[in-house]
Amino acid sequence: KGRVFPGSRTWSGAHRELAWLLPSLTTTGAMSLVSPYQVQGKWTHSSGGEIEVTVDNTGKSVVITHPTVGKQTMDVAKFCQGEGLDYFGFKGKLEGNKITWNNGVVWTKTG
């Protein structure tokens, strides 16, 4: 049978399989894993231009259209790195509607 959490119903196999898609909460209530679906959408680059992030039909790849880099397809496991993001070696942190990258660039979500 499924795992039972205090005050909840038993989780079915389908719930367990889908749970990885959702951001998880640690026991302290802090966000942990970044889901590609949190990053999906349109963003503006702090230096100008629009970025679009989509998740492919399999859910295993993200397609990123960037104003200077062009269109890139990446494995979700490479792009979503635990609590952060990795875009060709640049480390990003998602906070609300912004991704702040370790090179000083900020992407702001627009849609």
The encoded tokens of residue 92 equal: 């990003």
Report the SS3 class of residue 99: strand
Q: Which two tokens stand for residue 87?
A: 């875009």
Q: What's the pLDDT at 32?
A: 59
Average pLDDT over residues 3-13: 44
In eight-state DSSP terms, residue 16 is: H
Query: pTM for the whole thing?
Result: 0.70
Write the pLDDT tens digit of every residue in 34-93: 999 999 999 999 999 999 999 999 999 999 999 999 999 999 999 999 999 999 999 999
Q: Higher confidence at residue 56 or residue 29?
A: 56
User: 43: helix, coil or strand?
Assistant: strand
Helices (H), 30-75: 36-39
At residue 111 the predicted structure's pLDDT band, cuts being 50, 70 and 90, is confident
> What's the residue count for the chain?
111
